[in-house]
Amino acid sequence: MAIKAKGKLDPITFIYGFGAAVILVGSMFKFIGWDYANELFIAGLAIEAVVFIISAFERKVDDKEYHWENVFPQLEQENTGNSPDSSSYAKAMEQLSESIKSFSGQITHLNQSLEHINKEMLANNESTKAMNGRVQELNKQMEEYAGYMQQMNSKYKDFLSGGKAN
């Protein structure tokens, strides 16, 4: 198993962290009421004071600058003092135009798809309305049929009982 290198250990950062840890342990000792709490506080604060004094004289290295000319070759021509090459700008603008045309085509296709979906939904709505009308008509017929069946059952009962009900 390979261990990744994480960079160099900065001694100032290490001492600063060590001093902070001593102060925290001293705080814990103070809260609990244990011995040597004051000594730990003094040691931790002294370490922090020394780190702050050293860091006051520390010099910072500027971050590495990005090489934008690798992304935008036009910048390299401007930095060298040469007049910018109009063909590179034209190429860049042509690429931008092609991208915009492609994007516009995709939006047009999306719009057509949405219109198609809308038409299908309207057609489905009309079909649903027609089916609803047929179902209502079927319900009416079933109610009539149930009424006829009740009349038939009533007459059949009369017939079975020998006509005594009337």
Would you say residue 24 lies in a domain? yes
**What range does the domain containing 129 cover?**
98-166
Give me 133's structure tokens: 């009308």
Global pTM reads 0.33
Task: Summarize the confidence of residues 24-51 as an average pLDDT.
Answer: 89
Residues 49, 110: one domain? no
Would you say residue 157 lies in a domain? yes
Count of domains for the chain? 2
Would you say residue 62 lies in a domain? no
Task: Summarize the confidence of residues 31-44 as an average pLDDT.
Answer: 89
Three-class secondary structure of residue 165 per DSSP: coil
Would you say residue 68 lies in a domain? no
Whether the CB-CB separation of 19 and 47 falls below 8 Å is answered with: yes
Residues 162, 103: one domain? yes
pLDDT for residue 64 is more than 90:
no
CA dist 58 to 16, 18, 31, 47, 52, Å?
14, 19, 35, 17, 10
pLDDT in tens, 105-157: 999 999 999 999 999 999 999 899 999 999 999 999 999 999 999 999 999 99
Whether the CB-CB separation of 45 and 16 falls below 8 Å is answered with: no
Q: How far, in Å, CA of 46 to CA of 58, rounded?
A: 19
